[in-house]
Structure 1
Amino acid sequence: MNKKILCILCVSLLLSVMLCATAYASGSGDVAGAIEGTWTSASQQIKTVVNKVVFPAIDLILAVFFFAKLGTAYFDYRKHGQFEWASPAILFACLVFTLTAPLYIWTILGM
């Protein structure tokens, strides 16, 4: 058991040493400038991924939950005669918020 764990640790250490790349700041040693340069080059890609993948995934999940909750609220209304608006209204507000978030979220974040 100990040999197995030791072997796994050695292999993971060897792989991490082989596959890691050293990142250097520019010639003057300006680490903040290197980080800002990396951020400016990656920020557009991050915005694209968030706009095209993250927000639509959240929208889909909220839409499914909204319609499921609306259905269960309707069946509760048929059973008890009282419609509960709170949870469908909250889910709808969250859905509207996430549908419109790509229009203004980047100006709030300063991107």
Structure 2
Amino acid sequence: MEKKIEKTLIIFSCVLIFLALFSPTVFAAGEVSGAIEQTWQTAATQIKDVVNNVVFPVVDCVLAVLLFVKLAMSYFEYKKHGEFEFTPAAILFFGLVFALTAPLYIWDIIGI
């Protein structure tokens, strides 16, 4: 049993010595934080363009379709039961207004 432990320790020691000898030390050449900040600034403008030109219009279209469907369903329900619920339609309307005006101020809040 002792020979097995001794053999394992010798192999482990050899592996550690080889790792220490053959692994080069790597240093960053230059200022890493400046490169990261510059990359983020470049990516931030691209992200802003994609969100303004793709994400917000898709959200606006989905909310507009949901609003008109809800208004139609509320109209048919009004004809059937004589009651009109304003709350779901109002929530969708104000969500649509929020999504339509969001590109004007959301980037100032985020800081881009």
Give the TM bin, normalised by the shorter chain. Answer: 0.7 to 0.9
Q: What is the TM-score when the length of structure 1 is the normalising length?
A: 0.73
Whether 1:97 and 2:98 are equivalent positions in the alignment is yes
The one of the two structures with greater contact order (alpha-carbon pairs below 8 A, sep at least 6) is: 2
Q: In structure 2, what is the Cα distance between the partners aligned to 1:36 and 1:26? A: 16
Residue identity over aligned pairs, in percent, reads 58
The number of residue pairs the alignment matches comes to 86
Unaligned runs of 5+ in 2: 1-26
Sort the Cα spacing of 1:75 and 1:33 in 2 relative to 1 into closer, same or farther, 3 A: same
Q: In structure 1, what is the Cα distance between the partners aligned to 2:33 and 2:99? A: 33
* Corresponding residue for residue 67 of structure 1: 68
* Corresponding residue for residue 29 of structure 2: 27
Please tell me the root mean square deviation across aligned C-alpha atoms, in Å: 1.5
Find the structure with the greater CA-based Rg.
2
Unaligned runs of 5+ in 1: 1-24
Q: What is the TM-score when the length of structure 2 is the normalising length?
A: 0.72
* Corresponding residue for residue 49 of structure 1: 50
The list of structure 1 runs, each at least 4 consecutive aligned residues, that deviate by more than 6 angstroms after superposition, is none
